[in-house]
Structure 1
Amino acid sequence: MNRCTTNQDSRSGSGREVNNLLHTLRGEQFRHSQNLLRSKAHLAAVAARSYNDPSLPFSDIYKYAQTRAEERLREQNATPPPLPVIQDGQLQHGYPRGPVPGPPVPKSWSGLFKQDHARARNTTAFRHDALSLILSHMPWSFGSSDVPLLLTQEELQSPAAVYGRMHDTAGSRVPPLAQICLDVLLAQFPDAVEFRDELLEILPPHFYRDVLRYTAVHDPLPSTKLYALCEPDGHVDGELIVVGPQATLQRDTLVSASPTVAARQYGDSGDARSDDRGEGSSTSRETDVPTELEDSWEAELSSSQDLPPPMHTLIVLNTSVSISTLFAFPLTLTRLALLAIPVPTPVHRLPRICPLLEVLDLSYNAWLNDPPEGKGTVMAESTLERIEWEKWARLRVLGLRQCNVPENIATRVNRGRLLDVVHIVGIEDRTFGSSLTVVEGLLKSLTLSD
């Protein structure tokens, strides 16, 4: 009897040893997989594994998108987050999204790791910086109140230069209530047809400019929504902001916004209204000359009020401008910004197309130092050198940020200007705010052959 009890105890003890050994091996294997994954995100999926899952293929029967088992598998196969690495007292992220282990990358491979400028220029942060100069010289609007001002010290001290910007919220972390409401409204109408037929119908017209500026910075509108917002004049209170790659600048819109075409369209609409009222032909109205002479002042006043305002501001960001579109720019433009244009544009023709410019921003265009359209030899004049600066008598501000312009650009721009000196933005460690520096530059550029 004692022998049977001893045999049973020995068998149960050996069985427990085997179970303990298997349990230990499973634990080591689990910890090894933990170390390989370098993450604790999959622990919840492993702990939540259930043996009571339905056995029927519900994903095929009810056309479910994904089952729980597929979601758990996706979590297990996901890329693990990087491990924190402390170097020089600073917390950094290591491999796989940090520094790659191994020797440094050869110089011949440097072209493979260039920054994607197209993606970097399609961000809200870039649009904030790019539009800061031109928006600083425009009337205040809550749609662009969070864009920082880019003005000189003299302009900041002048109340006429900042256009009443005492309510700017560029330094505030909390957006104004008007912008929050506008963001909610734009999110409720994502479709272009609903945006045109529903939102623009209930939105007061004096808010259109705020919508134009706000979306240009935070969420650029596509062409369908943008030009629906600008109907029927082709602009909003004289402003048109086209931000790519969501939208493109259309030549027909610029042609319709020109003063001659707008006046012709107004005349046609006036004739149509008179025909609808049954006023008769022009011969029948000639008998009423005294009455027309008496009402001439009122007629001129009403016609001037009905005419739409001319386009005075055009901003194009991160989209191309064709030559035919460039020649269609209205003569009434006083503010023009061609920012980050991906394709070289013959901007040296602008002085004859837009002679009334006061603010010109050509920032983020590295092709300004190349010959027009990339043609010519090495000794050919660049696009920037071919611009006839003296034809812009009203020019006050010029933006050349990140254009790698030559050092003598201030002398060329301000040649012949002794009092109204153009302020150039984008040249580091050089300020051109007085006429004395310009005169000194002109004297240095003089030659004895003259």
Structure 2
Amino acid sequence: MGMRATNTTKDATQRHVNDMLDTLRGEHYRHTQNVSRARRVPPSTGNRTAPNLPFFLEYYSSAPAPKRQSGPPPPRSWTQSASVTDTPNWRASRLAPVFACLPEPSHTDDFPPLARLCLRSLLSLYTTDELIEEVAPLLPGHLRRLLVRDAAIHAPFSTAQLLRLGGEEGHIEDELVIVGPAAGLREDHAVRLAQNARTFTTEKWDADDDAGAQPLQSLVILSARLTSSALLKLPPSLTHLALINLPDTILLYRLPSVCPLLVFLDLSHNSWLNEHDRRVDLMRVDWTRWTQLKRLVLRGCYVPHELPAKVNKSRWDDVAIIQE
């Protein structure tokens, strides 16, 4: 018993001595810091001056801000109305419905995806020709398709540039977006697209993607001319077709026989549909031939009040008609 009591007393004394030593060391350290007046900074784990955001965001931060002038804005009569149809915002609003219904995710500017940020950074580093000749061949198909969509809003490609991007197939991953007035669909281009669609046999539909290129399935034409000869030679494989703000009239009643597989059709902002002599064009279309049609967009143009009944005649499911 005496031995245990002695050991317990020694342990308590040793702990007390250790506590006193720790206290003295702490007081000595604080005293030394106060004397030297050294700033107590936590150790750095890295370079705090280095940027912590992706480098390509500098492309957006360095974009020039819109210039503001003092005084009230100029009257609307002083502005050129033609320039309104040649802005990214205008093109984005016209292309939004079709981009939202294409097989790939919708194209929105509210929260641009990482892939689009990277592509726009490439646009800031290379010229258009360099991008098409050197960068685009290295990109996978879905990124080249995203590149064309984004360029259609911010800096549309010309006809020659689209042909170089499309290669032998004439399109980019079964999709083609044409924005005028710098671009258009030539008749020989339409013929090549139709030939590729006809040579695509039934066996290739069931084969892997690597077995061959898919035919054109989505065609978007904005503010570009579409001749009657080119329209009649469109490939029958089309499922999504957008003919927006076309400067000239087209043979609407011929579309069902040319493109019988349409699921989506956009005829918005065609001012010639508002003309008195052209208001019957939509009623002349044989809508029953489009058995797979799901959505019809008719924004900014005249729509006869009898049209919904004619479009949905003999259908189990009504076609969604978008007018606003």
Normalised to the residue count of structure 2, the TM-score between the two structures is 0.70
Shift of 1:211: 0.8
* Contact 1:360/1:399, CA 8 A, preserved across alignment: yes
Number of aligned positions between the proteins? 256
* Contact 1:82/1:98, CA 8 A, preserved across alignment: no
Deviating runs (4+, > 6 A) in structure 1?
A: 299-304
Q: For each residue in 1:49-102, what CA deviation from the matched residue of structure 2 results, as whole angstroms up to 9, or x when unmatched? A: xxxxxxxxxxxxxxxxxxxxxxxxxxxxxxxx553xxxxxxxxx17xx359xxx
Partner of 1:171: 110
Q: Relative to 1, partners in 2 of residues 1:114 and 1:385: Cα closer, same or farther, differing over 3 Å?
A: farther
- Residue 230, structure 1, aligned to residue 169, structure 2: no
Question: For 2:303 and 2:246, how far apart are their aligned partners in 1?
Answer: 16
- Residue 308, structure 1, aligned to residue 240, structure 2: no
Whichever residue aligns with residue 235 of structure 2, its letter is: P
Question: For 1:124 and 1:237, how far apart are their aligned partners in 2?
Answer: 24
- Residue 255, structure 1, aligned to residue 216, structure 2: no
1:277-426 superposed matches below 5 A: 305-370=210-275, 382-417=280-315, 419-426=316-323
1:49-198 superposed matches below 5 A: 82-83=70-71, 93=72, 97-98=74-75, 113=77, 118-141=82-105, 145-146=107-108, 170-172=109-111, 175-192=112-129, 194-198=130-134
* Contact 1:370/1:383, CA 8 A, preserved across alignment: no
Shift of 1:416: 2.2
Partner of 2:54: none
Partner of 1:56: none
* Contact 2:197/2:235, CA 8 A, preserved across alignment: no
* Contact 1:263/1:307, CA 8 A, preserved across alignment: no
Question: For 2:215 and 2:89, how far apart are their aligned partners in 1?
Answer: 31
Question: For 1:415 and 1:132, how far apart are their aligned partners in 2?
Answer: 28
Partner of 2:150: 214
Partner of 1:30: none
Question: For 1:300 and 1:313, how far apart are their aligned partners in 2?
Answer: 16
* Contact 1:312/1:334, CA 8 A, preserved across alignment: yes
Structure 2 alignment gaps of length 5 or more: 1-68
Shift of 1:323: 0.5
Q: Relative to 1, partners in 2 of residues 1:262 and 1:129: Cα closer, same or farther, differing over 3 Å?
A: same
Q: Secondary structure at the match of 1:394?
A: coil
User: How well do the aligned residues superpose, as a CA RMSD in angstroms?
Assistant: 3.1
Normalised to the residue count of structure 1, the TM-score between the two structures is 0.51
* Contact 2:197/2:215, CA 8 A, preserved across alignment: no
Shift of 1:200: 2.1
Q: Relative to 1, partners in 2 of residues 1:228 and 1:262: Cα closer, same or farther, differing over 3 Å?
A: farther
Whichever residue aligns with residue 104 of structure 2, its letter is: W
* Contact 2:268/2:300, CA 8 A, preserved across alignment: yes
* Contact 2:273/2:279, CA 8 A, preserved across alignment: no
